[in-house]
Structure 1
């Protein structure tokens, strides 16, 4: 699969708080988050990645 564009978005209480994209050689997206929010988001991202890996291993 040739991936041209990716984006990671953090939504808190139905409101986009952070978005980061990577398209070709371009990267961008900034929005600072408080350290306590980053800790919560990091835990959820780690859990989501584990879930994606689990789903991929079922194929």
Structure 2
């Protein structure tokens, strides 16, 4: 399953909002080469959600 994602960007920033109510064990990893990974469980059945988002370019992870 994939969570709902909202995206916005400006000249020097990218904003990613992952909409997953009641998420448990959420893990977020942003790599300098521009890859965002997210995983969590949610819902009464603890469904697994995952997202891999390849950005256009390298990013400053700080």
Same fold (TM over 0.5): no
TM-score (norm: length of structure 1): 0.33
Whose strand fraction is larger, Structure 1's or Structure 2's?
2
Higher RCO, 1 vs 2 (CA within 8 Å, ≥6 residues apart): 2
Whose helix fraction is larger, Structure 1's or Structure 2's?
1
Higher radius of gyration, 1 or 2: 1
TM-score (norm: length of structure 2): 0.32
